[in-house]
Structure 1
Amino acid sequence: MRGQIFDPAARTRARLRTLESRAKDRAEAEAVAVGVAETVGLAGARGAAFEGPASPGRPYRRQAGLDWLARKGRITDAQKRAGERYGALYRRAAREGAIRSTLDVRPGGGGPAGPGAREEVLLMAAEGSAQATARLAAMRARLWDQADLVSACDLVCGRELTPREAVASEREVGRIEALLGVALDVLAGEGRDRS
């Protein structure tokens, strides 16, 4: 071995450092796995539903309320589609009140896209939110503005909570599922009325 010095003690130290590093990495990976399992367990106890990892090392995927209900066979495909429409409008309308950053807007319209391009994008976004708010109000009117039906849709479709996450007691889970079923039947009928 030309240019290398054979030092058994140095070689042993390097090997021990490598083994120590691997042991630390393994211990850290085990601690992370325990932490993830604990977090998933606690969220599950609060009513969240998770889809387990497809293979080791893959992340857990939280299930939205509608997905969980559909997977359990508690709502039909038509009800799920109606709930997804309601949820998309709910989330889009909820963004309307959010204060948006204006750091990218340049007074006077300077920028690569030309004068007024950024302002036009902001106006289009505001228009889309306003349309979503109006369509959401129409869907709520279709539910006769009944507070319980609207609340069930807001929680499960809009905020994407499972029924167990949405209410405080087990007794209320059945009630919110029943209310949601009625609301989604009414909203699913909306699509058939237009055809």
Structure 2
Amino acid sequence: MKLKDKSIVVTGASSGMGKAIVELFVKEGANVIAVARRKERLEALAESLKDEAGQVQVFAGDVSRRQDCEGMIDAAVAAWGRLDILVNNAGVMDDMAPIAEASDEKFRQVMDVSVYGPMAAMRKAVQVFLEQGQGGNIVNVSSVGASHQAAGPIYGASKAALNAVGRNPAYMYKGEKIRVNVIAPGGINTEIA
């Protein structure tokens, strides 16, 4: 088992890629804090994985709120004594409105979830990694929409910003064995679309 006893936080865990990530990690022996706003879906996910090698604990939270980003990291440390991996997967789409019709409200919503949330979570995770002194891993789930003209302008901007937010700590903390990777999948048939 590749992830035996690793302590991992996964956001956006109630559906789509986040749910699939949690399922795979738990089957590989990881202990996962599954984070999303929809607690009932998280509880159903945890129940479905109760006989697997790893464990799932539910954390109902909103990544656009700093206290939830910090709380989910604290939950992993409280449950398993440390944090090994953070997966920033939570995200929301814009409404595909062209720039002339894009709203400030949609901009704030998408940026809060897709940029601020990962940044706040990374800030807390890096603090924990530094305290532990053993490095750590962060995976940010971006999108090809960061560089594709057909993506909505707000969604594309948020994913481009997420790419940039990942580059800085990858550089700044490489000497501390903290790795940051950004993956950019193409279209995947999930609820986000």
| Alignment TM-score > 0.5, same fold | no
Tell which has more relative contact order, 1 or 2 (C-alpha 8 A, sep 6+): 1
- Largest Rg, 1 or 2: 1
- Normalized per residue, the structure richer in helix is 1
